[in-house]
């Protein structure tokens, strides 16, 4: 058991379920879901997470704002963040990475790519 705690921030329940379903295939991952950036921040402050996956386009607080705020939190300076988004432009990718995201994956959802990236970042 690796015992990693993972936060999935995604406003679409269908997509959230898809990502969670994929991550559950990695043994020992405890997954917590959040509907948007604000919900995500609330959950991040309530307990410590080892990995964050977030969408960009979300209501209330988008994923980029969330990435930026997470990186300003001393508890999450080194925590890997994966952005999963429909935004495919190079400047969007660069912006997310500049704000502190570790990986940037574009939609449509590619489960294998998500799993490979997670495994690489978490060395599992």
Q: Which residues bind other proteins (CB under 8 A)?
A: 12-15, 17-18, 21-22, 86, 88-89, 106-109, 111-112
* Torsion over CA: 58, 100, 96, 53 (sign): negative
Nearest in space to 95 (alpha carbons), one of 70, 68, 57, 71? 68
CA dist., res. 44 & res. 70, Å (int): 8
Minimum distance from residue 46 beta carbon to other proteins (Å): 27
CA dist., res. 37 & res. 41, Å (int): 6
Of 72 and 111, which has the nearer Cβ to other proteins?
Answer: 111
Of 41 and 82, which has the nearer Cβ to other proteins?
Answer: 82
Minimum distance from residue 76 beta carbon to other proteins (Å): 26
Minimum distance from residue 108 beta carbon to other proteins (Å): 4
Of 33 and 50, which has the nearer Cβ to other proteins?
Answer: 33
Nearest in space to 100 (alpha carbons), one of 75, 66, 124, 123? 66
């Amino acid at each position: 058991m690796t015992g990693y705690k993972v936060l999935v921030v995604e406003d679409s329940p269908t997509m959230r379920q898809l990502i969670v379903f994929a991550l559950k295939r990695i043994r020992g991952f405890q997954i917590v879901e959040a509907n948007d950036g604000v919900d995500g921040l609330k959950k991040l402050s309530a307990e410590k997470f080892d990995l964050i996956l977030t969408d960009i386009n979300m209501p209330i607080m988008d994923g980029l704002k969330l990435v930026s705020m997470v990186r300003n939190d001393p508890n999450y300076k080194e925590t890997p963040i994966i952005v999963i988004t429909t935004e495919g432009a190079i400047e969007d990718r660069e912006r997310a990475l500049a704000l502190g995201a570790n990986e940037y994956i574009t939609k449509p959802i590619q489960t294998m790519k998500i799993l490979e990236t997670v495994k690489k970042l978490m060395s599992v």
